[in-house]
Structure 1
Amino acid sequence: MSTPPHHYVTASDGQRLAVRTRGNPDGPTLLLVHGYPDNSSVWDAFAAEFTADHRVVTYDVRGAGLSTAPEERSGYRLDQLADDIATVADHVSPDAPVHLVGHDWGAIQSWHAVTEPRHAHRFASYTAVSGPDLDHAGHWFRTRPDGVRAALRQAVRSGYIGFFHLPAVPEAAWLTGVGGLALSALERLGGGPHTPARRGTRDYLNGLALYRANMARRLLQPTERRTDVPVQVLAPTDDAFMIDRLQSNAGRWVTDLRFHRFHGGHWTLRSRPAAVASRVRALVGEIESGRPRPRPALTAQRARRHGGAFAGQVAVVTGAGSGIGRSLCFELAERGARIVAVDIDGPAAERTAELAGLLTPGAAAQRVDVTDAAAMDKLAAWVRDEYGVPDLVVNNAGIGVAGPFLRTSAQDWERVVDVNLWGVIHGCRAFAPMMVAAGGGGRLVNTASAAAYLPSRVYAAYATTKAAVLMLSRSLRAELADHGVGVTAVCPGLVDTGIISGARLSGLGEVSAAKDRLNRLYRLRGYTPDKAAARIADALDRAPEIVPVTAEAHVGLLLSRLSPGALRAAARLAPPV
C-alpha cells in the first residue's frame, strides 16, 4: 500500500510537519494523528476505507517520519502538540471544521486540542482510539472513582512509562533491537497486524520525549479540561496498555460522549481497520447529517454518573416496562448509558424511557412483541439507524407459567416457549450479526432463571424455557467469542418483580388464592428488582458466563454442580403454593 506524497506545513515554533492528503476533495475532511512509536504510515490501511467519499489528511508528528524534531524537550509538550494539530487543520480545511481521529499518543494530544478553548471550534468531532486525556487520567488516579483495584490494574499496564523515563536505557533497548522484539510481541495481542510497521529509528528515539515532557506534570498536577466537541472513545477489548474504565471516565468531562468496545488489540487499526472505520464513519455521518442529539448539562452529579462503566454506550432492553427490565434501564442510565426501552406494553416502555432519560438524555421507547421475528428485525434496523450498533442488548422479556405438566395446556406451552425462548432467539438473531460486523466488543445478555438448573414438579414449562435460554447463551458465547461479542445468562432467584400477577397457573387450586400465596412468598423474600439490576450491572463489567441473582440462585447453581441428586429429590417436594 503506497503512501501519498507529502508537503510541509510550518508549526507555530518553526518546526516543519510532513502532511499527506488523499481521497475525495469534496467529502468531509478526516485528520488522523498517529501515536508512538509510529509515523503517519500507520493509518494507510485505515485511510483506504475512506478515500472514496472522504478527504483524508495524515501528518508525521514532530520528531517522527519526515517531520523535523525540536532540539529541546519542551518542544514536545502537549500545548505545542495541540497547536500543531490546529495548525494542520487550519491549513487543510480553513473554512470548515475537521473530524479528528487519534490513536495512542495521537489520541492524547488530540484530547488536548479538543479540550483547548482556542482550538475546539476547529473540530466537528473527535474519535479517540486507545488514548486518554492525561489530565482526565490524572484526576481518575487521584479520585479512583472505579475503586483501588481498577487503579492498580491500570498502573500495572502503564509500567512501561516508568521505563521510558530512565536515562539512556530505553534508547539502548531500541537501538539493540530488544525493544523492537518486545513491541512485536505486544502487537500480536488481540490479533496483531499482518504486515510489519514502517518505523524508523528516529520514530523510536525522538518519541520518548513525549513521555518525558508530559507524563509527570499532567498526571501529578491535572487541570480540569472539558469539551463540547462530540467525542467517541473506541476501546479495544485486548488492549495491553489501557483498561476500559480509564477511558469511559471521559464522560465526566465531555457533554456528548459515545463509548464503544471493539474486538482486537492496541494496533487493530492496522490489522482490522474496518472495525475502527465503521465506528468513525457512523459518527462522521451523524455529525454531517446535522441531526440534533440530546446533551446533558454536566452538573457535578451528572459528571460523576456519566463517567461510569456504561458512559456513552447504547443499551437495548426488552421487557423494559416493568420488573427487572425497568430497573435495569434505570441502573444502566444511572451509569451513563442511553436506553432503548422495549416492551409489548407501549405506554409502560414510554414511561421507562421518560424516567431513564432524566438520568441520561437520549432514551427512547419502542413497542415490540418479541415473539415476532420480523418486528425484532425491524427494531434492530431502527436502533442501528438512530443510535448506531448497540453496545449492550438485554433480552429480558418473559412470562411465568406454573402448574403440573399434566395440567398445563398446549396453548400455555406454546405461549411460554414463544416469549421466553423464541423472544431471546429473535433478539440474538436480530442484533448479533450487526455486533459482529461492527468489530465486536458488544454484549448480549439473556435473562434465564435459577429455575434453569433447579428442577421443580410444578414449573416444568417455565423451567424448560429458562434451561433452553441458559444453554443457548452458553453455546452462543462459545460461537461469538472469536468475534469479540460477549454473551451472559442472568439467572435470578426469587425477585419480587410482579411476574406472578400475570402468570398462567394450572392445577394449583383457586388461581387468585395461589397467586396471592406466591406473591406473599416473593414479598417475604424481599429481593427487589432494583437490587437485582444493580447486581447485574456490576457483574456485566466482567462479562461472566452466568450471573446468579439472589442467594438461593447462587446456592442452587453450586448444588447443581456438586450434588444434582439432592436437587432431584427436592424437585419431588410440593412447593408452598
Structure 2
Amino acid sequence: MRTVLSGDVRLAVFEEGPPEAPTVMLVHGYPDTHAVWDDVAAVLAERFHVVRYDVRGAGQSGSPRGTAAYRLEHLKNDFFAVADAVSPDAPVHVVAHDWGSIQSWEAVTEPGAHERIASYTSISGPCLDHVGYWMRDRFRRPSPRKLKQALVQQLHSWYVLAFHTPVVPELMWRLVLAKRWPELLRRVEGVAPRPDHPADTLASDASHGVSLYRANFRERLGKPRERRTEVPVQVITPVHDNYVTPALAEGAERWAARLWRRKLYAGHWSALLRDGAEVARMTTELIDHVDGKPAAHALARGQAGAKQGPLVVVTGAGSGIGRATARAFAARGAEVVVCDLDEDAARETGGHAYRVDVSDEAAMRKFADEVAARHGVPDIVVNNAGIGHAGSFLATTTEEWQRVLDVNLWGVIHGCQVFGKLMADRGEGGHIVNVASAAAYLPAKSLAAYSTSKAAVLTLSDCLRAEVSRRGIGVSTICPGLVNTNITSTTTFSGLSAEEQARKQASATRAYERRGFGPEKVAAEIVRAVEHNKATVPVTPEAKAGLILSRLTPGLLRAAVRFT
C-alpha cells in the first residue's frame, strides 16, 4: 500500500503484479472498498501491474466533510492523481464497477483523456450525463418500449430517491444494514461472505458514500452535459443486475466512438464476487485488442455495429441433418466448426473440420479444448451425431446396446459436459441443441435400444435446461420423425445376417426417399429453436402428432405399441 494525495484527501492505493507491465486500475463502487476486486485482481496480476484504491470516504482513504466534497469533479481529480502516481509515463487501462464506474466515466470523457487512459471497461455504472440524455429521449420521443424502459429503470433505482432523504439512510446503515449486508448479499445474489468483504468499515463507508448521490444525481440528470470520449470503451452488463438495467447501455455509441457491449449472466455484486475471473478475461481481451491483437470472437461480436456471427459447433456434420444444420448457420453468417468420424465428409460440409468420435470422452474433451483455443468458446453447440439400430429388446445384444448408447446418449452427454462447462464458465450465455427423435416419446417394439437412447436425451435436455438457464444458456431438444438421410443405409438390425441387413437397409432407404422430408427442413427448425429458445421441437407431422398423443392419450399409445 502507498498513499496518494488528491488535494487534501489521502487515498489508500494498493498495487500488485509486475510493476513494469501495463497498468490496470480497478475502481470500486458503493458501498465497497478495493477488496471487492480481489478475484479480478488475482487473475489480472499474473500479466499486469494492478492498482486498486479506496475511493474518498471508503476503507482506508480519507473521508472529507460536506456533500460538495463528493462531487464528480473531485472524484475525477482523485482518479488522475492515482493514475499519475502509479503510471506517470504510460496510459492506464481502467476497469470500474457501480459508483467507481460513474466517476471513471467523468475521467474518461474529459478532453484529452485518451492520452492518459488506454481502455475503459465499465460495469453497472453509466455516465450520469448519458443517463440524463437517455431519460430525455424516452420522454421527448416516447414509444411503448421506451416508456417501459424508463419506468423499469426508475423502479430499479428506488434507492436513489431514498438516499436523498436527510439522516435516515445513514441511520439505517449504522443501525441495521451494515450488520445484515453479508446475509443480504448471500440471499439476493448468492455471494458468500469472505474475510475482507464486506469491510469492517462498511457502516461508516456507506454513510459517507450517501453523499455521492446527493452531490451529483439531481444536477447531472437535470442538466446533462455532452460527454464524449475517444477512449475504447467496453460496457459489461450483468443481466441479473437489480439496480442497473441492460437498457441503459442503449445509445452509448453516441458518446464512445469505439464501443463494445457484452452481457455477463450475473448479478450486480456477483459479477465481481463470483465471476471475477470472467470479468478479468473480458478485460484482458479488450486490452490485448487495443494493443494490436486480433479481437477474440466474443469481443468481436460485442463491437457496436459489428456483423460478427455466432460460433457454432455441430457434431456428426459429415452428412444428413448435421451437414444441413452447419450450412444453415453458415448461410446466416455464423462461423462453423464441424466434426465427424469421417473427416473427409466433414470437410465437404465446410467450416473448420475435425475428426472426432463423440462416444470417446477424452477425444471430446480434446476437441473442446482445441475449439476454445483456436476459435473461442462456442455460442451454439448442436449435438447431432447418432446412429440407427432396430431390434426388439430380447433380440438386442449387450454389445449392440453398448454401441447405441455410447453414440446416441454418451455422445450427447460428452458434448453437453465439455461445451456446457465452457459456456457456463464464460458467463456470456449460449445455446445447446440435442438432436433426439420422435422415438423418444413414440416407443416401438422394434426400436428398443434406439428409443431408449433418444428418450434419455430428451429427459437429459430438460434437466440441463433447468440447471443452466440462469447462466443464459438455452437447451433445445429436436425430435425429427422420418427424415431422408443416410442413417437408413447405416442402421443395423439385431439377429439378421449381413445379407438380410442389407435388404432391410435398402428397403428403409426407399421408404424414407418416398417420404421426401429432407434434412434442410430439420436444420431450419434447429435454427428457429435457437432463435426462440424452444425447449422441445417435434419436426415432422408424425413427430408433432406423436407428441400430442403421448401427452393426451399415453395409455392408448402404450396399447398401440404392441402392434408396431
**TM surpasses 0.5:** yes
**Higher mean C-alpha displacement, 213-222 vs 59-68:** 213-222
- Equivalence for 1:267: 269
2:389–2:404 CA contact under 8 A, matched in 1: no
Q: Partner of 1:423: helix, strand, or coil?
A: helix
> Does structure 1 residue 398 correspond to structure 2 residue 385?
yes
2:339–2:355 CA contact under 8 A, matched in 1: yes
> Does structure 1 residue 564 correspond to structure 2 residue 554?
yes
Q: Partner of 1:515: helix, strand, or coil?
A: helix
Query: Which 5+ residue runs of structure 2 have no aligned equivalent?
Result: 492-500
**Higher mean C-alpha displacement, 344-353 vs 198-207:** 344-353
From 59, 68, 76, the counterpart of 2:71: 76
Alignment partners' CA distance in 1, 2:257 and 2:470: 27
Q: Partner of 2:416: helix, strand, or coil?
A: helix
**Offset, 1:401:** 3.5
Q: Partner of 2:82: helix, strand, or coil?
A: helix
- Equivalence for 1:427: 415
From 355, 362, 367, the counterpart of 2:354: 367
- Equivalence for 1:241: 243
CA deviations over 1:33-78 (Å, ceiling 9, x no partner): 001122334335653555565322112334444245485659634x
**Offset, 1:490:** 1.9
CA separation of 1:458 and 1:215: change in aligned 2, threshold 3 A: farther
Q: How do 1:545-560 and structure 2 match up within 5 A?
A: 546-548=535-537, 560=550
TM-score (normalised: structure 2): 0.71
**Higher mean C-alpha displacement, 455-464 vs 98-107:** 455-464
Q: How do 1:243-392 and structure 2 match up within 5 A?
A: 257=260, 259=262, 261=264, 265-268=267-270, 271-272=273-274, 275-276=277-278, 279=281, 283=285, 286-287=288-289, 290-293=292-295, 303=304, 316-318=313-315, 322-328=323-329, 339-344=335-340, 365-371=352-358, 373-386=361-374, 390=377, 392=379
2:312–2:379 CA contact under 8 A, matched in 1: yes
1:139–1:219 CA contact under 8 A, matched in 2: no
Q: How do 1:187-226 and structure 2 match up within 5 A?
A: 187-188=185-186, 189-195=188-194, 196-198=197-199, 199-201=201-203, 203-212=205-214, 213-214=216-217, 217=220
- Equivalence for 2:113: 119
Alignment partners' CA distance in 2, 1:317 and 1:139: 41
**Offset, 1:292:** 1.9
**Offset, 1:31:** 0.5
- Equivalence for 1:89: 83
Alignment partners' CA distance in 1, 2:371 and 2:143: 31
**Offset, 1:104:** 1.9
CA separation of 1:243 and 1:513: change in aligned 2, threshold 3 A: farther
CA separation of 1:348 and 1:422: change in aligned 2, threshold 3 A: same
**Higher mean C-alpha displacement, 408-417 vs 564-573:** 408-417
- Equivalence for 2:172: 174
Query: For residue 384 of structure 1, what is the amino acid of its counterpart?
Result: A
Alignment partners' CA distance in 2, 1:353 and 1:149: 46
CA separation of 1:42 and 1:441: change in aligned 2, threshold 3 A: same
Query: For residue 381 of structure 2, what is the amino acid of its counterpart?
Result: V
Alignment partners' CA distance in 2, 1:398 and 1:153: 47
**Offset, 1:249:** 8.6
CA deviations over 1:525-544 (Å, ceiling 9, x no partner): x966345423323227xxxx
Alignment partners' CA distance in 2, 1:275 and 1:484: 18
Query: For residue 207 of structure 1, what is the amino acid of its counterpart?
Result: G
Query: For residue 537 of structure 2, what is the amino acid of its counterpart?
Result: P
- Equivalence for 2:26: 32
Q: Partner of 1:322: helix, strand, or coil?
A: helix
CA separation of 1:20 and 1:472: change in aligned 2, threshold 3 A: same
1:322–1:348 CA contact under 8 A, matched in 2: no
Q: Partner of 1:241: helix, strand, or coil?
A: coil
1:474–1:487 CA contact under 8 A, matched in 2: no
CA separation of 1:501 and 1:137: change in aligned 2, threshold 3 A: farther
Alignment partners' CA distance in 2, 1:490 and 1:367: 24
Q: Partner of 1:548: helix, strand, or coil?
A: strand
- Equivalence for 1:491: 477
**Offset, 1:381:** 1.8
**Higher mean C-alpha displacement, 46-55 vs 511-520:** 46-55
The sequence identity of aligned pairs, in percent, is 33
**Offset, 1:394:** 1.5
Alignment partners' CA distance in 2, 1:315 and 1:509: 33
How many residue pairs match? The answer is 533
CA deviations over 1:284-304 (Å, ceiling 9, x no partner): 784598532279999xx9957
Alignment partners' CA distance in 2, 1:373 and 1:145: 52
**Offset, 1:194:** 1.6
CA separation of 1:152 and 1:30: change in aligned 2, threshold 3 A: same
- Equivalence for 1:357: none
Alignment partners' CA distance in 2, 1:548 and 1:145: 34
- Equivalence for 1:6: 3
Q: Partner of 1:8: helix, strand, or coil?
A: strand
- Equivalence for 1:471: 459
**Offset, 1:250:** 6.9
Query: Which 5+ residue runs of structure 1 have no aligned equivalent?
Result: 355-364, 541-545
Alignment partners' CA distance in 2, 1:208 and 1:44: 24
Alignment partners' CA distance in 2, 1:114 and 1:565: 67
TM-score (normalised: structure 1): 0.70
Q: How do 1:446-461 and structure 2 match up within 5 A?
A: 446-456=434-444
Alignment partners' CA distance in 2, 1:220 and 1:565: 69
- Equivalence for 2:498: none
